Amino acid sequence: MKVLHVEGGRNLYGGARQVLYLLDGLKRRGIANVLVCPAGSDLAREAAAHAEVHAIPMAGDLDFRLIGRLYRIIRQVRPDLVHLHSRIGADVMGGIAARLSGVPVVHSRRQDNPEMRWAVSAKYRLHDRVVAISEGIGKVLASEGLPASKLRCVRSAVDPEPFRQTCDHAWFRSEFGLPEGCMAIGVIAQLIDRKGHRFLLETLPALIAKFPSLHVLIFGKGTLEQALVETARRLGVEKHVRFPGFRDDLPRVLPCLDLVVHPALREGLGISLLQAASAGVPIVASRAGGIPEAVRDGFNGLLVPPGDTAALANAIGRLLDAPDLARQMGRHGRELIDREFSVDGMVEGNLAVYRELLAERSVPLS
């Protein structure tokens, strides 16, 4: 079997990392992979060990020339099916190119943002199967009219082993300029509005008054960085908040955090939550999208209503005030990852979708 994958993300954030996991797992199972991704991207470099990589210009949702580029590659490599892994133009333009080529199409849906029913009907007509990466996303798609015959759920996954390190406290304090004995909260998300960073910042004056050693590390990049810096300054908490940007050493960072907070308004699942749980870090997060699948309320973390700063502050304070409970939740997080979010399970789930679709099309399986 040969699968052509299309991923429009340039950085190794959650979705692109899932593509790498999948390419590796499929290759180990004897599947031939071809990857189309943006020229000059981190993914193009990292995926070369697992796939034949075609790095091309990809300019986003309105890049209509992408149809021709993808069509030519599909005709050249002759895959058994095409798997579209992202939006950023790949879902629609890739669907059109595959349809023109007569190749079956699978699309992975990673976000839970609502779409109009007419848009769902038009767009997903291009796809033979739509794979939701969480049950939460699946429910959104079903409610918007996507036929059950097309919808499958295969959860995202994480390799937990890199995150199961012992914290190097001296390195951690030195790297981020933190005082000895401080409490450290981490937020790991793009700096965009729907991730809800502002709600956490609004809780900090009261939390710092109660926990003077509290410091917050906001990891990630995005258009809201300067606005968030200014918000921290306006609230008088700027000395307790740091913006280290995008980090590729999270396996070393996460075990040093006392708590991960994810106050998102919408979220497909949250790969950073799976990583935090792998590291044994308790989590406070919003009850939004697929988050409750990664954070089981009262088991490996606490869930609060999206945008409710009072509930968010109470949940954070509760775990900072009860280190034994926090450690117990951290242990439970590791158990949850091992039980429900393995990379092998994700790879096998996608492979089952491929086989089902090709058998339906009477394509010989190799």
pLDDT, tens only, 306-328: 999 999 999 999 999 999 999 99
Q: So what's the pLDDT on residue 179?
A: 95
Residue 90 has pLDDT above 90, yes or no: no
The rounded distance, in Å, linking the Cα atoms of 277 and 282 is 7
Q: So what's the pLDDT on residue 123?
A: 84
Q: Taking the CA atoms of 285, 287, 292 and 298 in sequence, report the sign of the dihedral they define.
A: positive
The rounded distance, in Å, linking the Cα atoms of 316 and 226 is 25
How far does CA 77 lie from the centroid of its chain?
A: 29
Q: So what's the pLDDT on residue 364?
A: 62
- Which amino acid would we find at residue 158? V
Residue 30 has pLDDT above 60, yes or no: yes
> In which band, very low, low, confident or very high, does the pLDDT at 350 lie, cut at 50, 70 and 90?
very high
Average pLDDT over residues 68-94: 92
Q: So what's the pLDDT on residue 165?
A: 93
> In which band, very low, low, confident or very high, does the pLDDT at 365 lie, cut at 50, 70 and 90?
low
Q: So what's the pLDDT on residue 76?
A: 97
Q: So what's the pLDDT on residue 32?
A: 98
CB 359 within 8 A of CB 352: no
- Cβ atoms within 10 Å of 282's Cβ, excluding its own: 28
Q: Which residue has the higher pLDDT, 23 or 117?
A: 23
Q: What is the mean pLDDT of the chain?
A: 94
Q: So what's the pLDDT on residue 52?
A: 97
Domains 2-157+342-360 and 161-340 share a fold: yes
- Cβ atoms within 10 Å of 96's Cβ, excluding its own: 17
The rounded distance, in Å, linking the Cα atoms of 195 and 67 is 31
Q: So what's the pLDDT on residue 70?
A: 96
> In which band, very low, low, confident or very high, does the pLDDT at 363 lie, cut at 50, 70 and 90?
low
> In which band, very low, low, confident or very high, does the pLDDT at 302 lie, cut at 50, 70 and 90?
very high
pTM, rounded to two decimals: 0.86
> In which band, very low, low, confident or very high, does the pLDDT at 187 lie, cut at 50, 70 and 90?
very high
- Residue spans per domain, the chain: 2-157+342-360, 161-340
Q: So what's the pLDDT on residue 202?
A: 98
Report helix, strand or coil for 83: strand
What are the angstrom distances between the C-alpha of 116 and each of 63, 124, 144? 22, 12, 7
Residue 110 has pLDDT above 70, yes or no: yes
What lies within 8 Å, CB to CB, of 84 at 6+ separation is 6, 90, 91, 94, 95, 98, 105, 106, 107, 108, 127
Q: So what's the pLDDT on residue 9?
A: 83
Report helix, strand or coil for 237: coil
- Cβ atoms within 10 Å of 186's Cβ, excluding its own: 24
> In which band, very low, low, confident or very high, does the pLDDT at 349 lie, cut at 50, 70 and 90?
very high
Query: Is CATH 3.40.50.1820 what the domain over 161-340 is classified as, yes or no?
Result: no
Report helix, strand or coil for 217: strand
Q: So what's the pLDDT on residue 366?
A: 52
Residue 121 has pLDDT above 90, yes or no: no
Residue 88 has pLDDT above 80, yes or no: no
**Distinct helix (H) and strand (E) counts, the chain:** 15, 13
- Cβ atoms within 10 Å of 321's Cβ, excluding its own: 11
The rounded distance, in Å, linking the Cα atoms of 15 and 5 is 12
Record the tokens describing residue 149, joined without a space: 């015959």
Report the top-level CATH class of 2-157+342-360: alpha beta
